Amino acid sequence: MVSPRPIIVAGAGSIGCFVGGMLAGGGRPVGLLARPRVVADIERYDLRVSSFEGADRRIPANRLILATHATVLAGAAIVLVTVKSADTAAMADDIARHAPADAVVVSLQNGVGNVAVLRERLQGRQVLSGMVPFNVIALGEGRYHRATSGDIAIEPDQAGTAAQLSVDGLMMRATDNMPGVQWGKLLLNLNNALNALSGLPLREQLAQRPWRRLLADHMSEALRTMKADGISPVASTGVPPALTPHLLRLPDALFQMLARRTMQIDPMARSSMWEDLQHGRRTEIDYLQGVIVALAERHRIDVPLTRRIVDLVKAAEQDGKGSPGLSPAQIRA
C-alpha cells in the first residue's frame, strides 16, 4: 500500500529532480529539498523530466512540495538521499532532527560508504542502500534529462519499498547483494573522472578506442585492488566486471556492436563529475578513485594510473576553469 505521506528527495540535484519528477508524474506525493537556485527554476518553469527513450513530462510546480530547509522532512514516509557523498553526514543529521522515526531512508548516491554513514547517524531507523545506474543531465529551466539506461536497484525490505517507488518509466527493483552492486557501479563510475577530464560527451568518448583502453587499464587497477580485499563487484550491465576491460579494448566496430546490447547512451550525456567541474563544484573523486587508492595502500598495490587521475581532477578543481580537455596520452603522461 502506497502511503499518503510524501516522498522527500533530500538534496535534489540532477538525479534527485529526475527521480522526484518521475515519481510525481506517476501520482506520488513528492517534495524536493534543494538549493535555492533549483527551487527558483522549478517555481518559474515547472519541473520537466525527459529521457533518451522519448519520455517527456512537465510537472507543475504547485504539484510539488518545494523547500530549501530540512523542516520539509517532517511527515515524510520515505526519504531519498541524493546528496554528494561529502554531504551525507550533514544530511543524516538533518534527517535525525526533522524526519519521523518511521520514515524509510534510501540512499541513491554514488560510492560505497554512504549507507554506513547514514546508519551510524540514524541508529534505530530503517536505512536501505540503493544504486542509480543511469546518468541525468541538467539542461536548465527546470529540465532534467535521463541520458543512459538501467533500472534503480534497492535493498529489499518487508514493506516492499522498491515496489512502492516504481512508477511508469522509472522501475526500482529489489536486489540482494547491494554491496556487490555498489562496487560494480563504482567500477563503472571510474569513467566519470575520465569523461570530466576529456570534456567530450560520453558517447563520443567511448566511441574512441584510446579512451576505452585508458578506462580498461584504469578498471584493471581497480579490479586488482578489489580482489585483494575480497570484494566481488556485481555487474550493473550485462557484462561481468572481470570481462569489462577486455570488451573496452576491442576494435571500434566490434565494441559498438556489443555495447549496443548492454547500454544505451544519449548523444548529450556527460558525467556528473564533468558537470561539477564546469560549475566549479567539489567533485566526488575522493569517494570513487580515492576509495581505490585507499584499498591499494592497504594491500600495498601500485595503482599509478588511478593516482594520476586523482591528481588531475584535483588540479582541475583547483584551477576552476571547467574540464581541462585532456587527451588519453596527456592523462597517461
**DSSP letters spanning 22-56:** HHHHTT--EEEE--HHHHHHHHHH-EEEEETTS-E
**Integer CA distances (angstroms), 332 to 54, 78, 179, 187, 218, in order:** 38, 44, 31, 19, 10
Residues 84 and 11: their CA atoms lie apart, in Å, by 8
| Superfamily for the 7-176 domain | NAD(P)-binding Rossmann-like Domain (3.40.50.720)
For β-strands 143-146 and 136-140, DSSP reports them as: antiparallel
pLDDT score recorded for residue 211: 98
- Going by C-beta distance under 8 Å and a sequence separation of 6 or more, which residues neighbour residue 192? 110, 271, 272, 273, 274, 284, 288
Compute the half-sphere exposure of residue 302: CA atoms within 13 Å on the CB side of its CA. 1
Low-confidence ranges of the chain (pLDDT < 50): none
pLDDT score recorded for residue 306: 98
pLDDT score recorded for residue 133: 92
Domain locations in the chain? 7-176, 179-332
Compute the half-sphere exposure of residue 138: CA atoms within 13 Å on the CB side of its CA. 20
Residues 79-98 pLDDT 10s:
999 999 999 999 999 999 99
Compute the half-sphere exposure of residue 153: CA atoms within 13 Å on the CB side of its CA. 21
pLDDT score recorded for residue 2: 62
Three-state secondary structure call for residue 99: coil
pLDDT score recorded for residue 1: 53
66 touches 162 (CB < 8 A): no
pLDDT score recorded for residue 31: 98
pLDDT score recorded for residue 268: 84
One CATH from 1.10.1040.10, 2.40.10.10, 3.40.50.300, 3.40.50.10610 for 179-332: 1.10.1040.10
Intrachain domains 7-176 and 179-332 with the same fold:
no
Q: Provide φ and ψ at 65, rounded to 5°.
A: -95, 115
pTM to 2 decimal places: 0.93
